[in-house]
Amino acid sequence: TWASFGSTSKPVEILTGTDKKVYHFGVDATDDGLAPTGKWRTASFPLAGPGLRARVESLDTFVEQTSAAITLTVKVGTTDTLAAAPTFPAELTDTFDTSLSTLHQAKYVTDRAGTGTGTAEARFACVHHELETSVPWQWGGGVLRSASMETES
């Protein structure tokens, strides 16, 4: 019910899905017995100057330590054009346990070479996060590092 979605002393995040259902996140609760899924993605952004490619080197994501184990999946999507949706290769996908007080960092420096959509070397990138949990959690941002390849695409 709406009354279970929080109060002034217990704020929650309420979202609506494309399925026209209402969901709430960040509380110690379930959605009909299932852990709600949280997903968010940045818009594609340039990694280097106009027309230049860059190589994704590493990614840090900052999630407050949780009381229970939560698997956070982080994917980097790449593309050489904004006319095409980014692809998320397995090489640029990592998982982290948010109950550990460690740096959640993915390193891609040694990943296979290649240029274009779906590789570590591209003109544009975006970052996708996903987790399923029924315990409170908080995301504090992230940092994506890249090195310019100085090559026009």
Pairing assessment for the beta strands 121-122 and 37-41 based on DSSP bridges? unpaired
Tell which wins on pLDDT, 118 or 102.
102
Residue 99's pLDDT is what? Answer: 92
Is pTM, for the whole model, over 0.75? Answer: no
* pLDDT single digits (tens) 56-88: 888 999 988 988 888 999 999 988 889 988 989
In one letter, which amino acid is 21? K
Residue 1's pLDDT is what? Answer: 41
* pLDDT single digits (tens) 15-29: 666 776 666 555 555
Q: What does the radius of gyration of the chain's CA atoms come to, in whole angstroms?
A: 18
CA distance to 21, 23, 127, per residue, from 16 (Å):
6, 6, 22
Q: Is the pLDDT at 115 greater than 60, yes or no?
A: no
Tell which wins on pLDDT, 142 or 115.
142
Q: Is the pLDDT at 11 greater than 80, yes or no?
A: no
Q: Is the pLDDT at 153 greater than 80, yes or no?
A: no
Residue 125's pLDDT is what? Answer: 92
pLDDT band for position 127 (cuts 50, 70, 90): very high
Do 41 and 129 contact (CB within 8 A), yes or no?
yes
Q: With CA atoms as reference, report the closest residue to 104 among 126, 127, 136, 133.
A: 127
Q: Is the pLDDT at 102 greater than 60, yes or no?
A: yes
